[in-house]
Structure 1
Amino acid sequence: MDIDALRQDTPGTANRVHLNNAGAGLLSRRTLKAMTAHLELEAAVGGYEAADQERDRINATHANVARLVGGQADEIALFDNSTHAWNAAFYSMTFKPGDRILTGRAEYGSNVLAYLQIAQRTGAEVVVVPDDESGQLDTTALANLIDERTKLVGVSHVPTSGGLVNPAAEIGRITRAAGVPFLLDATQSVGQFPVDVAEIGCDMLTATGRKFLRGPRGTGFLWVRPKALEYLDPCVTEIEAATWDGKRGFTWHDGARRFATWEVSYSNVLGLSAAVQQALELGMDEIGRRAISLGAYLRDRLEALPGVTAYDLGRDRCAIVTVKVDAVPTADVAAMLAKQGINVTTTVAEHTQFDTEHRGVHPLVRLSPHYYNSEAELDRAVEAIAELARTAG
């Protein structure tokens, strides 16, 4: 990768050290151009008319996203965020008393709330699979917990609260063998390193555009394995999802389109498509190698600092790094770094409820570099944290 060229194509790198890609990545000029050009076209000719003119490029977004995750265009539905995409999949399933939903300690907070709601409504049971000694989901325990009552395995590939990478492909092998649906929340993994639905073996996958894909906020998508449509009954319908039969019934549209909504921001859709195309051209293998390498570089340097403790779990770790500075409140660390032009964020206990119940370590300072960050930027962040630790000590 030509890192200098990538940084020149990323306006935000000129004035900030952006280590919050797990929150929202910096847009490239290419993505900005795709979005603003469509907004200007809408202003010039009208929203419907602009969509008609750009229909081929808009429709190509499904194919681009499908290539990114190893699927087909008709297996993709676009959403305004990943939580709505995840909800569209989850709430399309049917649960009854005694059914079991298996998940992990690293599951994202919104997903957990949905599990709890369905448990309250239906009498289904939420079962948290324990971690193994490394802190990743224990696949042996998962296999032992699956039985005839198990209706879903829902797992976050990478948690919002740390650098853990859960063993998604092994989870997929277990669920396929058991014939149990597998819903993978890939919000923090898609765009950070290669994610292939065939290799993983999940039945449904959700992701966002705004994080490591470097797309605009207000974008997300759902991938659905065609076989899964046999047991998924979308919880809402509208004119994009189904066709009226002329009487008092309707027919679902083919593929994942049955989960979609008619009204979308086409500026955002084209921005997402541009970001995905850029990722594909750079190569997800290359992106993954650099992102994970930068994460390891940052983590190793921070762990070596007196008064700083890292909290990332798992055998495999990614570009998300979480730490605490002794005697300095986490929010103060983030605020002090922001004053120096270094973007980070903090983890929230309520966003990973089961992890909080188990470890009780949140909030943590979360730093998340990406491929366009430089080693010099990471050094600057390390030096700033080192100074905070020295001052506090």
Structure 2
Amino acid sequence: MSPREIQQLRDTTPGCQSGLVHFNHAGASLPSQPTLDAIIAQLQREARDGPMEAGEHGEVLLEKARSAAGQLLNAPASSIAFASSGSTAWSMAFQALGRWQPGDRILVGRHEWGGNLACMELAVQAGARIEVIPCDDSGAACPVALASMIDAHVKLIDLTWLPANGGLINPAQAIGEVARRHAIPYFIDAGQAVGQMPVDVQALQCDVLKSAGRKHLRGPRGTALLYVRPAFLERLKPAQRDVFSAPWTAQGFDLRNDARRIETSETSFALLAGLGNALQEMNRLGIERVWEQVSQTSERIREALREMPGISLHDLGARQSGLIAFNLAGWDAFELKRRLGLKRINIGANGVAYTPLDMQARGLQSVARISVSPLNNEDDIVLLSAALRELRD
């Protein structure tokens, strides 16, 4: 992307006009003004015409969002469901798998998101075991090692594709090939991938994939999307149902035959109008171009950090994403985040709870995290570097 194109993105983003330097896109990115306008317009419509009456227009906006999400993921719109958060979406899909039995095995990457592991405790209480896929020499989940672990007791393979605690990119497609070869359900947590890099669910061969709307998609908080492979849909029997997800028919209440069996009737059309606009903006911009820009910017930042005394980098993987994990000598990561925030420079910080298996394996208590977006320009990098040098000294 050219400097002019980046500036055009910044010009339509209120956060970039306020003097803010935002490097916390992996936590939540900055929405565009048109995304804000879409949210406000639906709220005003509800206030003017009545919330229920404005729902008809809200349904139109929701379906546009569903189509835009399908386009981004190379999936049919009918395979997309929406939820209030990525954790909610993943949890609903996991719980819809049904009952777990003693001896059942769940295979996960070492970098699994802590919220997913917490949800899996329901299966552990029923007698299932969570087992970690060994890493290769780069620190990524190893497909060859995974293949050697497969037996009839493996009931789920789950992978956090891009971990929250650094720049690792796990080999999600190669893991998917193992899962499909053995006909084992395969879930992907793509919370840090969707909106940052190309995501093709057909190539990934996953059964379920989820992502929050607030991160790299630049949508509002309180939104998330969930992909369910159409042929896998009948495997999911959600416990939470209502007249939308399981409408009344002559035979009784029947679950929908699309991904909306995971949804419920009550939703925020305003927030989903904002998410729909953000998805459409992403499709117009082109995810390949976004990924190219993110890769270039993050590499420039890594180079600057490598040259800075007192900085230690903690990114794994042969190729890395736009999440940069580091520590500054003498500083707690969360205190560093707070001090930079006082300078109007936003970064993230991750503790053990976010990725407990990996953080404990590497002996890390916390890491500071920079995450980049096409919104970030050279001035942002200069200001961040200067602030880190000042705090180091």
TM range (shorter): over 0.9
How much has 1:134 moved relative to structure 2? 0.6
Superposition pairs of residues 272-287 of structure 1, within 5 angstroms: 272-287=275-290
* Residue number in structure 2 paired with 1:307: 310
Cα contact 1:19–1:369 (8 A) shared by 2: yes
Superposition pairs of residues 233-272 of structure 1, within 5 angstroms: 233-245=237-249, 249-272=252-275
Q: Which moved more, 1:25-34 or 1:226-235?
A: 226-235
Q: Which moved more, 1:88-97 or 1:148-157?
A: 88-97
Cα contact 1:154–1:184 (8 A) shared by 2: yes
* Residue number in structure 1 paired with 2:47: 43
What amino acid does structure 2 have at the position aligned with 1:311? H
* Residue number in structure 2 paired with 1:215: 219
Distance in 2 (CA, whole Å) between partners of 1:299 and 1:216 is 29
- Deviation per CA, 1:238-290, whole angstroms, max 9, x where unpaired? 1111122457x421111111111110010000000000000000000000111
- Deviation per CA, 1:126-165, whole angstroms, max 9, x where unpaired? 1011211111111111111111111100111111111111
Aligned residue among 149, 171, 175 for 1:171? 175
1:111 matches 2:111: no
Partner SS state of residue 252, structure 1? coil
Distance in 2 (CA, whole Å) between partners of 1:31 and 1:42 is 17
Distance in 2 (CA, whole Å) between partners of 1:224 and 1:43 is 34
Distance in 1 (CA, whole Å) between partners of 2:45 and 2:247 is 30
Distance in 1 (CA, whole Å) between partners of 2:57 and 2:136 is 53
How much has 1:54 moved relative to structure 2? 4.1
1:384 matches 2:387: yes
Task: Pick closer, same or farther for the CA change 1:218–1:42 going to 2, 3 Å.
Answer: same
Partner SS state of residue 124, structure 2? helix
Partner SS state of residue 48, structure 1? coil
What amino acid does structure 2 have at the position aligned with 1:113? A
- Deviation per CA, 1:335-379, whole angstroms, max 9, x where unpaired? 221121100121021111111220121311111110111022012
Cα contact 1:78–1:260 (8 A) shared by 2: yes
Cα contact 1:153–1:181 (8 A) shared by 2: yes
Distance in 1 (CA, whole Å) between partners of 2:359 and 2:172 is 22
- Deviation per CA, 1:293-345, whole angstroms, max 9, x where unpaired? 21111122112211100101111211111111111222221122112110012
Distance in 2 (CA, whole Å) between partners of 1:222 and 1:276 is 14
Cα contact 2:61–2:272 (8 A) shared by 1: no
What amino acid does structure 1 have at the position aligned with 2:105? R
Cα contact 2:58–2:269 (8 A) shared by 1: no
Partner SS state of residue 387, structure 1? helix
Distance in 1 (CA, whole Å) between partners of 2:327 and 2:58 is 48
Distance in 2 (CA, whole Å) between partners of 1:169 and 1:288 is 17
* Residue number in structure 1 paired with 2:75: 71
CA RMSD in angstroms, aligned pairs only = 1.2
TM-score (norm 2): 0.96
What amino acid does structure 2 have at the position aligned with 1:105? R
* Residue number in structure 1 paired with 2:357: 354
Partner SS state of residue 237, structure 2? coil
* Residue number in structure 2 paired with 1:134: 138
Cα contact 2:106–2:130 (8 A) shared by 1: yes
Distance in 1 (CA, whole Å) between partners of 2:313 and 2:292 is 21
What amino acid does structure 1 have at the position aligned with 2:69? V
Distance in 2 (CA, whole Å) between partners of 1:82 and 1:55 is 21
How much has 1:41 moved relative to structure 2? 1.1
Distance in 2 (CA, whole Å) between partners of 1:125 and 1:347 is 26
What amino acid does structure 2 have at the position aligned with 1:283? G
Superposition pairs of residues 45-60 of structure 1, within 5 angstroms: 45-60=49-64
What amino acid does structure 1 have at the position aligned with 2:78? D
Q: Which moved more, 1:12-21 or 1:330-339?
A: 330-339
Cα contact 2:351–2:366 (8 A) shared by 1: yes
Aligned residue among 181, 184, 191 for 1:180? 184
Identity of aligned residues (%): 36
TM-score (norm 1): 0.96
* Residue number in structure 2 paired with 1:125: 129
Cα contact 1:296–1:318 (8 A) shared by 2: no
Aligned residues: 388
Q: Which moved more, 1:273-282 or 1:65-74?
A: 65-74
How much has 1:74 moved relative to structure 2? 0.7
Cα contact 1:112–1:353 (8 A) shared by 2: no
Partner SS state of residue 154, structure 1? strand
Aligned residue among 120, 145, 152 for 2:149? 145
Partner SS state of residue 8, structure 2? helix
